Chains A and B, each alone.
Chain A
Amino acid sequence: KAGVTQTPRYLIKTRGQQVTLSCSPISGHRSVSWYQQTPGQGLQFLFEYFSETQRNKGNFPGRFSGRQFSNSRSEMNVSTLELGDSALYLCASSEGQGAGEQFFGPGTRLTVL
């Protein structure tokens, strides 16, 4: 099976802009989780989607949002970008909801100037 794919791999934006990141899970996986990774904070959980519904959410402002489509692909949107949003954004897929075996994609490196 193909692994988790994320697009784009690299992105450069300026403050105030918005960005949309995409994640395609492993075929047959219905859960997609998003994480933000920064050198100081490590991996921080953003949210999880299962069957097109957000099931769990981390402690991030409302500027961070997401959605999941019927084919389990997921998108994450960040509006009104801030310098501190520069990070590696990782998505992980798993078969079912919650803390089952998760497989990560290569990530999208977002740089906000």
Chain B
Amino acid sequence: SQQGEEDPQALSIQEGENATMNCSYKTSINNLQWYRQNSGRGLVHLILIRSNEREKHSGRLRVTLDTSKKSSSLLITASRAADTASYFCGAGTYKYIFGTGTRLKVLA
């Protein structure tokens, strides 16, 4: 079973709308990271949130972490066609465990 499991598996929205993706994990963690991957290429680091943090922002990205529910969410505001990609969360203590990702499609 996966440590980080993203939900939904796929998401399709119009340009300008907000996109929200969720991630759940099973055990205690030190950090949780979100990544973007375009068409089978490498993962691009988006944001890291530590277990003692509840919310972080980076540009149009907002990440929340709820350790009591073992879940995190990634919000992309004012989405653009260029945001079309797969998004992964990796959660862990001494190593990261990833899920299978959320495939986001932003329609122009």
Contacts and interface: CB of A to CB of B under 8 A. Distances in A.
Q: Is the interface of A mostly helix, strand, loop or mixed?
A: strand
B56 interface: no
Contacts of B88: 42-43
Contacts of A56: 94-95
A109 B95 contact: no
Interface residues of B, number: 25
Interface stretch (A14-22, A76-84, A94-102): A94-102
Nearest to A40: B100
Contacts of B48: 101
Contacts of A101: 31, 33, 45, 48
For chain A, give the interface size range: 20 to 34
Given A99-B30, A102-B45, A42 B96 contact: no
B42 A99 contact: no
B81 interface: no
Contacts of B44: 104
A106 B42 CA distance: 4
B93 interface: yes
A102 B33 CA distance: 8
Given A35-B98, A43-B98, A106 B90 contact: no
Contacts of B2: 42
Interface of A: 4, 33, 35, 41-45, 48, 55-56, 58, 88, 90, 92, 97-107, 109
Interface of B: 2, 29-31, 33, 35, 40-45, 48, 88, 90, 92-101
21 contacts: A33-B95, A42-B88, A43-B43, A43-B98, A45-B95, A58-B95, A88-B40, A97-B94, A98-B30, A98-B93, A98-B94, A98-B95, A99-B29, A99-B30, A99-B93, A99-B94, A99-B95, A101-B31, A102-B33, A102-B45, A104-B43
Please provide the 6 A-B residue pairs with the shortest distance between their CB atoms, ordered closest to farther. A42-B100, A43-B98, A99-B92, A104-B43, A106-B42, A98-B94
